[in-house]
Amino acid sequence: MSDEGTPGHSPLRRVLAVGMALAGGVWMLQGLGILTAGGSFMIGDPKWTAIGAVFVGAGILLALRTRRQ
């Protein structure tokens, strides 16, 4: 019996969770001035470190929630 039909086990949710965590990680690294390729406006801006941390946390929580359901 497949659980693909239940909302908590949607592959899209898993992809979204991973995407959020990865994007947040990039934003954190740029905000910290570690990832400097491309000359982005985010580089060295602590605001993007905080926004990235929130996205990483939200991605992890979504992944855990998706896994438990």
pLDDT tens profile 10-48? 789 999 999 999 999 999 999 999 988 888 899 999 999
- Asked whether the predicted pLDDT for residue 56 surpasses 50, the reply is yes
What are the backbone dihedrals phi and psi of residue 43, each rounded to the nearest 5 degrees, phi first? -65, 125
d(CA 32, CA 44): 5
pLDDT of residue 45: 94
Banded pLDDT at 1 (limits 50, 70, 90): very low
Could you give the dihedral angle defined by the CA atoms of residues 36, 39, 43 and 47, in that order, rounded to the nearest 10 degrees?
A: -140
Half-sphere exposure of 44 (CA within 13 A, CB side): 5
Domain edges within the chain: 10-68
